């Protein structure tokens, strides 16, 4: 398990970490982070009933699916 990527999210979910700024790099919600495309306010409101990006980030952290890369899966299996 990669300590740098997964651990902050797992710490948040287990309530060990309470400081959101220690978990997130940004409170910005993207529709495509790789292209730098920000999510539109109307799309956020439609999906989350709010456009408050901090509230949305918290909901994603708490209820979202944690995506694990192939390298992270390999690290989990070998150790």
Mean pLDDT, 10 residues at a time, over the chain (79 residues)? 69 94 94 95 98 96 84 68
With beta carbons less than 8 A apart as the criterion, state whether 27 and 54 touch: yes
pLDDT for the residue numbered 1: 40
Instruction: Please name the residue ranges forming H helices in 1-79.
Output: 7-13, 20-23, 41-48, 53-63, 70-78
**What pTM value is reported for the model?**
0.78
- The CATH number of the structural domain formed by 7-78 is 3.30.1250.10
Q: Rounded to whole angstroms, how far apart are CA atoms 47 and 41?
A: 10
Whole-angstrom CA distances from 69 to 19, 22, 25 are 25, 21, 19
Q: Rounded to whole angstroms, how far apart are CA atoms 29 and 42?
A: 13
């Amino acid at each position: 398990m990669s300590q740098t990527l997964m651990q902050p999210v797992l710490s948040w979910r287990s309530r060990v970490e309470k400081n959101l700024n220690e978990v997130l790099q940004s409170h910005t919600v993207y529709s495509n982070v790789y292209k730098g495309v920000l999510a539109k306010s109307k799309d956020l409101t439609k999906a989350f009933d709010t456009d408050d990006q901090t509230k949305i980030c918290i909901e994603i952290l708490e209820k979202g699916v944690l995506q694990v890369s192939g390298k992270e899966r390999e690290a989990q299996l070998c150790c």
